[in-house]
Amino acid sequence: MGFERDCIFCSHKVQQHGAGNHLICVCPNCGKYRITGEAIEDLPYELNRRPFVKPLVSGYLREVNDSGLQGEIIRSDNIDSILTSAKIPKSVPEKLDKLILYIFIKTSYIYEYIEIDTKFTAIGYAATERELQNMFQALCDYGYLNPPTTLDTREYALTLKGFERAKQLSTENVVSNKCFVAMWFSEEMIEVYDKYISEAVSECGYDPLIISQKEHNDKICDQIVSEIRTSKFVIADFTAHRGGVYFEAGFAYGLSKPVIWTCRQDHLKDAHFDVNHYNFIVWESGEDLYQKLINRIRATII
């Protein structure tokens, strides 16, 4: 038997089930998510200290639910990992694109009006109802949506320009099961890759690739660029701080590919200041890296 309480991410009323560190919350705005009891106790202080995080996590949870997927259990220590998910919009235009795709998915015929309840701010990663309303107005101003036909409704329809944008966005979201791994090709690190990195990637349902293990007749740089372009995400391990790893991680980041940053603990102090502020997985052993990679992939690559 569950009980009702306020959602810590959006303040809507949620139905909470379970006990201890195995709780399930069903929120009309965020959707269904799993969370530990410790996180429910600890996170409100952190979220109030960084209020911008709430709508991002709320939107992420909603998008995961709408995609029919199950996200990682929310813990006290993995919110920052969730914020690195490829799903999290990094700008206002990206948030507007989320709404275009939301309307597009719900549309079954041309110029169909879709009713929107602006209380459910998570559909646009919005912090307030007013922000969500303004976002819809902006899409109408840009010509992507037809506005409501009456003042009493909040129904919107994609214009032809909106359909074109939705198609473009769908194309840009690469459908790939491949993970490109950028790393130092020392004998020791190749062993770490074979035993732990590749196994962690495979465990999460993706196909790992390092360029040294691919047969090809082209220039190596052309192959690297091609493989990164067609990958779902990139793991960049900065152990020994090879220049190629910096290039490959930067190239992937420039393409808006999610990058998982890793480094062996004894090499972290030498990380260049351009990257040392990212949320690195710091590892001490292959076994340590294996489990941390699984957790990060499941939290951020969905």
- The candidate with the shortest Cα–Cα distance to 108, out of 163, 66, 165, is 163
Average pLDDT over residues 206-216: 74
Q: What token pair was written down for 98?
A: 């989320």
How many whole angstroms separate alpha carbon 4 and alpha carbon 74? 19
**Of the spans 20-34, 115-129, 251-265, 268-282, which averages the highest pLDDT?**
115-129
Give the domain ranges of the chain: 3-82, 92-172, 178-300
Average pLDDT over residues 177-189: 94
> Cα torsion for 268, 271, 275, 281, to the nearest 10°?
-20
Evaluate if residue 141 carries a pLDDT over 70.
yes
Evaluate whether 92-172 and 178-300 have a shared fold: no
- The candidate with the shortest Cα–Cα distance to 139, out of 127, 128, 154, is 154
Percent of the chain with pLDDT over 90: 63
E strands of the chain, at which residues?
Answer: 3-6, 13-19, 22-27, 31-35, 114-115, 145-146, 155-158, 178-182, 207-209, 233-237, 259-264, 281-283
How many whole angstroms separate alpha carbon 267 and alpha carbon 264? 6
Q: How far is CA 292 from CA 13, 81, 126, 279, in A?
A: 33, 11, 30, 12
Per-residue pLDDT, 85: 77
Contact 237, 184 (CB under 8 A): yes
Mean pLDDT taken over the chain: 89
Q: Which amino acid is at 38?
A: E
Contact 63, 72 (CB under 8 A): no
Per-residue pLDDT, 302: 64
Per-residue pLDDT, 100: 96
Per-residue pLDDT, 133: 95
Contact 34, 44 (CB under 8 A): no
Per-residue pLDDT, 294: 93
Per-residue pLDDT, 40: 92
Per-residue pLDDT, 173: 60
Q: What token pair was written down for 99?
A: 């709404």
Q: Which fold has domain 92-172?
A: Arc Repressor Mutant, subunit A (1.10.10)
Stronger pLDDT, 2 or 298, i.e. the higher one:
298
Per-residue pLDDT, 60: 92
Average pLDDT over residues 142-147: 96
pLDDT band at 217 (very low <50, low <70, confident <90, very high): very low
Average pLDDT over residues 178-203: 95
How many whole angstroms separate alpha carbon 76 and alpha carbon 35? 9
Per-residue pLDDT, 150: 82
Evaluate if residue 145 carries a pLDDT over 70.
yes
Q: Is the pTM of this model over 0.75?
A: no
Evaluate if residue 98 carries a pLDDT over 60.
yes
Per-residue pLDDT, 171: 64
Per-residue pLDDT, 122: 97
**Of the spans 236-240, 272-276, 294-298, which averages the highest pLDDT?**
236-240
CATH no. of 178-300: 3.40.50.450
Per-residue pLDDT, 215: 44
Average pLDDT over residues 44-63: 93
Contact 292, 281 (CB under 8 A): yes
Total number of residues shown for the chain? 302
